[in-house]
Amino acid sequence: MANIQRAILEWYDQNKRNLPWRDSKNPYFIWISEVVLQQTRVEQGAPFFHRLIEAFPSVDALAAATEQEVLNVWKGLGYYSRARNLHKAAQEIITAHSGIFPSEFLALKKLPGVGEYTAAALSSISFNKAIAAVDGNVIRIVSRLLDLSDPVETSQTSRTITEFANEILSPSRPGDFNQAMMDFGSMVCTPKSPSCASCPLASVCLARINNTQHLRPVKKPKKKPINRFLLFKVHLQDGKIRMIQQQKGSIWENLFLFPFDEFSSETAFLAKINQESQVINDRAIHILSHQRLHYAVIMTQEHTPANSEFWFSRDELYDLPTPILVPRILTRVENQLAPLF
């Protein structure tokens, strides 16, 4: 184990990535970076880290903001439940912890949106607690080191990976070691075409020895995404467009979106499009992690009760918290309706 610790840390000291949060032990900055990087690549997430820190430089500032302000700064990063949990957790830190970040793993885990990995990363990097942060990189590295042939999602294999990750963790530099494993998985022990020839762990990697590194980790087949069929309605009046704030339970909860009809089948969806005379956007597909959104956009003059309506100018629309679909649709609207909008 000591050889693995030494090899990983020596590699990290020479090759670690220069990331904007790396030079800080401030738990607020580390927390923001970890939440941003959930389901997001480093290159994409780094600008949003800067945006969030600039808008909310402290946990007090984040807690004091409205949810809409937080969603608006988060706009474009997707998976908006992360932003909502970030806001709720900041408020909990203020009310339940007097504004001081909890340092213990179990206390961190109780915060909204903070799971095992984020709690371990925070407690090790900011507070030097010896707890392995097991993310996708660590799962891949350990499954190759041990040449694990069972799916990593199974309880026994997951437990084996977590136990081994804690065994090899450096007790003197746990935060650096956890970050080293993240970088090592991103730069050397990559999902495809790992750099085994230059890997400092090649001599102790059972998958490398058995030539099974390209087969590890083993994962259960992914569930097929759900197909949804949506017809968005653009209602333009006096230079403003009607938007509706999505309700709790929606994947776009509290975000603003064009009103839409949803169809139970592709046949019904296409039949409706063919009936419409003012189609702005023919059928297109927007892919989410677990859903494929088949959508079209039409002009409409229909009215709904005033209490569900919000009317915004073009400039106001761009300042609203919206899913990425909205600016895409707006671009098409502007191209086709420039004299009106």
Of 271, 248, 201, 238, nearest in space to 10 by CA = 201
Question: Is residue 260 packed enough to be buried (19+ CB in 10 Å), middle (13-18) or exposed (0-12)?
Answer: middle
Q: Which residues pair with 232 in a beta bridge?
A: 260, 297
CATH assignment of the domain containing 36: 1.10.340.30
Query: Is residue 186 in some structural domain?
Result: no
Q: Which residues of the chain, if any, have pLDDT below 70?
A: 302-309, 337-341
Question: Quick one: pLDDT at residue 282?
Answer: 85
Instruction: Summarize pLDDT for 204-221 with one digit per residue, the tens.
Output: 999 999 999 999 999 998
276 is catalytic: no
Question: Quick one: pLDDT at residue 1?
Answer: 75
Query: Is residue 248 in some structural domain?
Result: yes
Element (H, E) at 64: helix 59-64
Q: How many domains does the chain have?
A: 2
Structural domain of 104: 17-131
pTM: 0.83
Query: Is residue 209 in some structural domain?
Result: no
Active-site annotation holder among 10, 34, 69, 92: 34
Instruction: Summarize pLDDT for 218-275 with one digit per residue, the tens.
Output: 999 888 899 999 999 998 888 788 999 999 989 999 999 999 999 999 999 999 999 9
Average pLDDT value over all residues in the chain: 92
CB 124 within 8 A of CB 175: yes
Question: Quick one: pLDDT at residue 340?
Answer: 52
